Amino acid sequence: MKVLIFGATGRTGRQLVSQAAAIGWSVHAAGRNADRLQDLGDAAAISVVDLAEAEEVAEVVKRVAPDAIIATVGGALPDGRLVDEFGNNAISDAAVSGGVRRLVQISSLACGDSRPFASDRIIAAIGPVLEAKTRAEDHLRRLDLDWTIIRPGGLTDGAPTGSGALYDDPRVHGMIARADLAAVVLPIVAVAATHGLTLSTVDRTTLAAEPAGLREFVVPAPV
């Protein structure tokens, strides 16, 4: 598997890079900071890319020609636009123009149809970011791609517990360590049964209040 990871120098991105390399994938890391990309060492080939420049993003995708793209990006561009929307959209559009069908976008709980189940505290704290991520989700759904959207709960930098779980249900609340998030995301990249799905993920031991009828999503074996 040859995977291109955008946002590779972020705390989640680093987990994805290291874990993907550990299972023998060919990893190409893309990010904005050249020094931080170099810090990834031998785990990945690297590309410095400005997500504000859609042509740069498209060039990287065409040059790398990956089997799949994982987008875990966020933050603000110099002009104030949020990477959560405009960076994700540039990546999604580049997948289309570059002929890469498989794209996994890491979004957030409290986006889209999960927003009604979010706490007022979360909405007050990062409402504009959640709205930007929601628009990026909507943009991706309109494209002819084999996409999957992953909405993690509150992210922590703690040690992995091995209890990360997926749910095809927007009512989920909880936390998840970034290492566990990466461990949940990578196995679905090659699974066609997750195409077109929006899945929530949390550490099952942190479920705030388990909704009635909640069931974990069991990832089928790759086909």
Instruction: Answer whether residue 81 is part of any domain.
Output: yes
Write down the pLDDT at residue 41.
87
Q: Answer whether 216's CB lies under 8 Å from 188's CB.
A: no
pLDDT band for 212, please (50, 70, 90 cuts): confident
Q: Print the domain residue range for 32.
A: 2-206
Instruction: Answer whether residue 221 is part of any domain.
Output: no
pLDDT at 69 over 70: yes
pLDDT at 223 over 70: no
pLDDT at 92 over 70: yes
Q: Answer whether 130's CB lies under 8 Å from 117's CB.
A: no
Give me the mean pLDDT over the 197-208 stretch: 94
Provide the phi-psi class of 121: left if phi over 0, else alpha when psi is between -120 and 50, else beta: alpha
Instruction: Answer whether residue 211 is part of any domain.
Output: no
Q: Could you report the per-residue pLDDT of 115-153, keeping only the tens digit for each? A: 999 888 889 989 999 999 999 999 999 999 999 999 999
Instruction: Answer whether residue 197 is part of any domain.
Output: yes
Q: Could you report the per-residue pLDDT of 172-197, keeping only the tens digit for each? A: 999 999 999 999 999 999 999 999 99
Instruction: Answer whether residue 213 is part of any domain.
Output: no
* DSSP tag of 94: H
pLDDT at 165 over 80: yes
Q: How many CA atoms lie within 13 A of 204 on its CB side?
A: 11
CATH number at residue 158: 3.40.50.720
Q: Could you report the per-residue pLDDT of 22-68, keeping only the tens digit for each? A: 999 999 999 999 999 999 988 899 999 999 999 999 999 999 999 99
Q: How many domains are contained in the chain? A: 1
- Of 13-27, 68-82, 114-128, 201-215, which has the strongest mean pLDDT? 13-27
pLDDT at 79 over 70: yes
Instruction: Answer whether residue 215 is part of any domain.
Output: no
Q: Tally Cβ neighbours within 10 Å of residue 183.
A: 18
Write down the pLDDT at residue 204.
95
Instruction: Answer whether residue 108 is part of any domain.
Output: yes
Instruction: Answer whether residue 223 is part of any domain.
Output: no
Write down the pLDDT at residue 118.
87
